[in-house]
Amino acid sequence: MSDALDTAVRGAEVFAEKAKAFAEQARTAAETAETWAQEAARAAEADTGNVAGALAHGASGGAVDPFVFQFAIFVLAIFVGYYVVWSVTPALHTPLMSVTNAISSVIVVGALLAVGMSAAGFGATVFGFLALVLASVNIFGGFLVTQRMLAMYKKKQR
């Protein structure tokens, strides 16, 4: 019986030691986080670039041209797409081409909306039609690539 009691007491002592060590680590982490927060606050106060940007935004009346905003999103999407595609290993480019059909179908929906809106203007209609054509080429090309990829795994008939 005393062995079981000694084991239980020893287990409680080990647990207490680990709890103290964990509490010390938590205290150290909290102090580190507080230090980082103070440094970040000092850096934010010293950042004049944000102040200049805020002043320029205020000087323009706080308005951003919708075309500039949408064009910026378009340019960012180009960069993201470029880096996503080129970071894929070459062995996975064919399956990636097959998956882009779903993405291109979303582009087709957006292009149809841009072409169909009469109030959007001539530029939006032209760009919408161009997006529709390019996305359609991508979709049909993706289907052809997928068909050829699947044909590689079929048994040849003699």
Could you tell me if residue 24 is inside a domain?
A: yes
Could you tell me if residue 52 is inside a domain?
A: yes
User: What letter represents residue 119's amino acid?
Assistant: A
Domain span at residue 34 reads 2-56
105 and 145 together in one domain = yes
Residue 155's pLDDT is what? 81
Run means of pLDDT, 10 residues per run, the chain, 158 residues: 66 76 75 71 60 62 74 84 78 71 78 74 80 85 81 80
User: Whole-prediction pTM value?
Assistant: 0.42
The DSSP letter of residue 82 is: H
Q: How far apart are CA 1 and CA 9, in angstroms?
A: 12
92 and 148 together in one domain = yes
93 and 41 together in one domain = no
Residue 40's pLDDT is what? 66
- Domain total of the chain: 2
Could you tell me if residue 76 is inside a domain?
A: no
In b/e form, how buried is each residue of 55-90, taking b as 16+ CB within 10 angstroms? eeeeeeeeeeeeeeeeeeeeeeeeeeeeeeeeeeee
The DSSP letter of residue 155 is: P
